[in-house]
């Protein structure tokens, strides 16, 4: 069933206001109407709209709880407390984390962690898993960005673990505000901040701006963060008016002139390093590549890895091994859940992953790939080192010899090139009768390496899937 779509048309601007604005600006009435529809209904507002100035940014201390937030960050920096910068897994959240983390590093604070929750195992917002991880690592302050406004219970739980929260969010709050040290959200009903359409990263920037102002730091010291902020503003589709327009204007200028290293890498991937980057480029090319990182999982059993889980990659590995076996004419299935062994009439290989470990970050440079036209392009994703277990089961009626022969066929396959999975070494266990399954069983263990990279559509405007490759140049 197709999704029903509905166009919401803005009402026409007041005719008298439109006429006055068109006359003052010497522009056609249709353009004046577009401005009035967006709240730009005076010559002064129009001048600010077309000539954005950093001096027109609002005082960050007008935001509710800003003074408390700055004081808590100052105390954490002064006492060398461990701070965790926590953000959602989308563009707004990840750019916000990068911005605040980068600023804290800039002012000399090194006792830092960052945390992006796993989309699949933790979901959106503050998670108990994230709080527990922070507590284990000795974190005493979490700065939550682009999330947390409704995390009342999670914030209360964190307090029992000795962890304070500063929340920087831009979503609508519930009736009850979390009892954090500070809750920065211009959409709070008790907040009188003049502009309530900031992105989550924008709220984080206002915290940085407030800290800088209180500590005598010039605006030029935080201006290099604006490239991250414009990516957030564009990707989160917040209105490009007011402060958002000012910040986006100067952020876009920086993105074209001197972007940070991380964004520069993505810009090069998108092929945007040779022309002027626009807001559309951010929305359709840069943003989707950052969003893709939030859909990639890591080893959730590795406490020292960036906490992101490993199931998605594991599933792809299992599917790749099964496909290779079936292509060779062998029956293969996913590993049987304990106690759910079916009745077998023919030999079958059950494929499972005993261990999967990412050897680099969730979004690392993997190498170059030659396309169909012979051009090389950079690939980004993760390298996976795995230990696969392939259990060959053979019905008792066929005997142990049949089981051993099937295992030999599987072993021969593992010793040859295997498409998306690069087998480094493997061992073949003994064939023996297994009473639980009433089958003869032989287990093969294979050490492998594979590359999970993000695949884009032909125009590379958005990521479409994640693909396993066994070999990269």
How far is 349 from 344, CA to CA, in rounded Å? 11
pLDDT > 90 in the chain, percent: 55
Specify the CATH superfamily of domain 311-469: Phage tail protein-like (3.30.2000.10)
Query: Are the CB atoms for 270 and 295 separated by under 8 Å?
Result: no
**pLDDT the model gives residue 300:** 44
Query: What radius of gyration do the chain's Cα atoms show?
Result: 27
**Least-confidence region, from 194-208, 341-355, 441-455:** 441-455
CB-based burial label for 389 (10 Å; 0-12, 13-18, 19+): middle
Give mean pLDDT, residues 201-218.
98
pLDDT, tens digit, 9 for 90 and up, residues 70-126 = 999 999 999 999 999 999 888 999 999 999 999 999 999 999 999 988 776 777 889
pLDDT, tens digit, 9 for 90 and up, residues 382-401 = 677 778 888 999 999 999 99
Of residues 1 and 164, the one with the higher pLDDT is 164
Give kind and range of the element (H or E) at residue 167: strand 164-168
pLDDT, tens digit, 9 for 90 and up, residues 52-77 = 999 999 999 999 999 999 999 999 99
Domains 64-293 and 311-469 share a fold: no
Q: Please determine, for residue 305, whether its predicted confidence score (pLDDT) is greater than 70.
A: no
How far is 80 from 63, CA to CA, in rounded Å? 26
Nearest to 391 by CA among 453, 469, 321, 459: 321
* Annotated domain spans of the chain: 1-51, 64-293, 311-469
Q: Please determine, for residue 301, whether its predicted confidence score (pLDDT) is greater than 90.
A: no
Give mean pLDDT, residues 431-441.
86
Is 64-293 CATH 3.90.1640.30?
A: yes
β-bridge mates for residue 165, sequence order: 142
Report how far apart, in Å, the C-alpha atoms of 234 and of each of 113, 205, 377 are.
Answer: 26, 15, 26
Of residues 256 and 300, the one with the higher pLDDT is 256
Most confident region among 191-195, 332-336, 394-398 by mean pLDDT: 191-195
Q: Please determine, for residue 325, whether its predicted confidence score (pLDDT) is greater than 90.
A: no
**pLDDT the model gives residue 66:** 98
Most confident region among 18-32, 259-273, 355-369 by mean pLDDT: 18-32
Residue entry with tokens 């080192």: 385
Q: Please determine, for residue 471, whether its predicted confidence score (pLDDT) is greater than 60.
A: no
Mean pLDDT of the chain: 84
How far is 299 from 311, CA to CA, in rounded Å? 8
pTM of the model: 0.66
How far is 300 from 357, CA to CA, in rounded Å? 9
Give mean pLDDT, residues 156-171.
97
Q: Is the four-CA dihedral 212, 215, 219, 222 of positive or negative sign?
A: negative
**pLDDT the model gives residue 363:** 53
E strand intervals along 283-347: 332-334
Query: Tokens for 35?
Result: 């401005």
List of residues 6+ apart from 75 with CB closer than 8 A: 81
Would you give the end-to-end CA distance of the chain in angstroms? 44
């Amino acid at each position: 069933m197709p999704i029903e779509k509905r166009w919401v048309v803005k009402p026409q601007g007041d005719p008298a206001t439109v006429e006055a604005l068109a006359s003052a600006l010497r522009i056609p009435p249709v353009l004046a109407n577009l401005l009035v529809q967006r709240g730009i209904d005076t010559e002064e507002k129009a001048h600010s709209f077309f000539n954005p100035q950093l001096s027109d940014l609002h005082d960050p201390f007008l935001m509710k709880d800003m003074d408390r937030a700055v004081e808590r960050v100052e105390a954490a920096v002064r006492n060398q407390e461990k701070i965790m910068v926590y953000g959602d897994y989308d563009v707004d959240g990840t750019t916000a984390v990068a911005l605040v983390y980068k600023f804290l590093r800039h002012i000399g604070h090194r006792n830092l962690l960052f945390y992006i929750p796993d989309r699949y195992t933790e979901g959106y917002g503050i998670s108990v898993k994230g709080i527990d991880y922070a507590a284990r690592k000795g974190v005493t302050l979490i700065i939550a960005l682009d999330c947390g406004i409704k995390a009342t219970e999670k914030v209360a739980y964190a307090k029992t673990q000795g962890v304070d929260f500063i929340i920087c969010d831009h979503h609508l709050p519930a009736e009850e505000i979390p009892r954090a040290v500070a809750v920065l959200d211009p959409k709070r009903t008790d907040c009188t901040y003049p502009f309530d359409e900031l992105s989550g990263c924008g709220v984080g920037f206002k915290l940085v701006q407030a800290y800088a102002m209180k500590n005598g730091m010039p605006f030029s010291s935080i201006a290099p963060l604006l490239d991250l902020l414009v990516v957030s503003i564009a990707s989160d589709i917040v209105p490009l008016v007011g402060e958002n327009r000012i910040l986006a204007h100067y952020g876009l200028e920086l993105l074209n002139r001197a972007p940070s290293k991380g964004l520069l890498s993505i810009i090069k991937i998108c092929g945007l390093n040779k022309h002027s980057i626009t807001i559309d480029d951010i929305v359709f090319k840069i943003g989707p590549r950052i969003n893709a990182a939030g859909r990639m999982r890591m080893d959730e059993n590795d406490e020292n890895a960036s906490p992101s889980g490993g199931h998605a990659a594991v599933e792809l590995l299992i599917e790749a091994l099964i496909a290779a076996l079936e292509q060779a004419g062998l029956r293969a299935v996913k590993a049987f859940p304990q106690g759910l062994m079916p009745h077998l009439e023919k030999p079958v290989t059950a494929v499972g992953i005993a261990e999967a470990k990412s050897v680099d970050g969730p979004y690392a440079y993997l190498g170059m790939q030659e396309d169909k036209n012979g051009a090389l392009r950079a690939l980004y994703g993760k390298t996976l080192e795995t230990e696969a277990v392939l259990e060959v089961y053979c019905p008792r009626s066929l005997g142990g010899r049949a089981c051993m022969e099937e295992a030999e066929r599987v072993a021969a396959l593992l010793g040859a090139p295997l498409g998306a999975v690069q087998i480094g070494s493997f061992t073949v266990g003994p064939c023996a009768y297994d009473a639980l399954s009433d089958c003869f069983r032989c287990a093969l263990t294979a050490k492998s390496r594979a590359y999970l990279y993000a695949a884009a559509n032909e125009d590379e405007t958005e990521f479409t899937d994640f693909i396993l490759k066994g070999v990269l140049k």
